[in-house]
Amino acid sequence: MGIAYLIVKVFYPPTSFSIIPIVSLIESPALGVIQLILLGLMVAFAYPVRTKIEGNSLMVVRKLAIIVAVGYLVFSLLPAAFRVPYIQTYIGLIIAANVLNGTFAGIVSSII
């Protein structure tokens, strides 16, 4: 999502940095929309297989893409839950959100 921020910053300079798509929709709608488009593209690229044989074997990948996208929307709210003045804590919360999202997606995909 940092890349999305840089793209929007080039075309719309007053944008504030945020990796949280839901909060970005409120604070800077352009950034929020681009972040949601990027999440949608991630899910869309898991679906291009047209044959039945490969489609059945890649069903787990398709489910994982959806789980990761939904998990990212939920776990990306972690940095917004804690307001601290230190950038190190914010970066740590971003890393923790990504680790939690990966763990959650791995556990759910192994159950499904």
41-63 pLDDT per residue, tens: 888 887 776 777 777 777 778 88
- 31 near 24, Cβ under 8 Å? yes
Question: Which range of residues forms the domain containing residue 68?
Answer: 1-110
Total domains in the fold of the chain: 1
Cα Rg of the chain (Å, integer): 16
pLDDT in the model for residue 86: 84
* pTM as predicted: 0.73
Give the C-alpha separation, 66 to 91, whole Å.
25
Cβ-based neighbour number of residue 48 at 10 Å: 8
Binned at pLDDT 50, 70 and 90, residue 15 comes out as low
Q: What is the pLDDT of residues 79-91, one digit of tens each?
A: 888 888 888 888 8
